[in-house]
Amino acid sequence: MASTASDGSEGADRYRRAQRGLSRLLLRDVGRLRRFLNPSRLQASFPDWLAAADEVVAQYGDMSASLAAEFFDGQRAAAEVSGDFTPPLADRPPPEQVEASLRWATHGIWAPEGEGATVTLDERLDVAESQAEAVAQKLVADQGRETIRQAVRGDRQAVGYARAAALGACAFCKLMASRGMVYATAGTAGGDANDSFLGGGTAKYHNSCNCCVIPVFRGQRFELSTHAAEWDRLYQEYAQGHSGDQLRRFRRALADRDAHPLP
């Protein structure tokens, strides 16, 4: 009898909790970096903050990749497929991508002109800190997600992967998760959808996105979790067939009928 892989399995839940726990520690450490920014020497102290933030992202990204590789190994063992395969850890994002993301997050700390001139420096720093946490979380989580995607491409016993979204995820993530195990390419995972999402990469995951990647192996069947199956039902009933308007309709259906409303 074929084994079952699911976004709602015990192993997937453990992995999701582990990655979210890592994200919480990351956000704590990114917040602590504020001490590097000297309000009286903002221009001069910013490079120190940038270097420290880059190092934090690198350290946590490697941990995210390691968690992903361990999860892939565990899922592979549970599938009882033949042969050996060691998932390589995804590379860190290019330094220029990290710097560009962090500079985007903090661009608002510099003294604004016009109507925004009344915003205090502390308020601007608060916004910058929140945005830096969001982009750092994406960079780190992406390294873990890419580790599994690369492993699926490299392992002959892997046939694809599913996208698992949290109960309180946004409409786009719930839509991607409701598709099940259809992801063998970056495009089907969301790479050619929703151009409004920030950031580069081969698949679309927004800032602060906690979606995980679930590998599926030969001989396995994939089964949607109860909540993802409900998202699929809502999409088919209220959004499918409305070209160009599916996401809006799906978002409306979630707001009206989902047991786990949007944040």
Instruction: Note the pLDDT of residue 200.
Output: 37
DSSP labels, 1-34: ---EEETTSHHHHHHHHHHHHHHHHHHHHHHHGG
Whether 144 and 64 have beta carbons less than 8 Å apart is answered as yes
In the chain, the amino acid numbered 39 is P
List residues bridging with 215 in a β-sheet.
Answer: 161
Tens of each residue's pLDDT in the chain, 263 residues = 568 999 999 999 999 999 999 999 999 999 999 999 999 999 999 999 999 999 999 999 999 999 999 999 999 999 999 999 999 999 999 999 999 999 999 999 987 655 556 889 999 999 999 999 999 999 999 999 999 999 999 999 999 999 999 888 999 999 999 999 886 644 444 444 433 333 333 457 899 999 999 999 999 999 999 999 999 999 999 999 999 999 999 999 999 998 876 55
Instruction: Note the pLDDT of residue 36.
Output: 96
β-bridge pairing 158-164 and 212-217: antiparallel
Instruction: Note the pLDDT of residue 205.
Output: 87
CA distances from 55 to 51, 58, 95 (A): 6, 5, 10
Tokens 């995951």: give the residue.
205
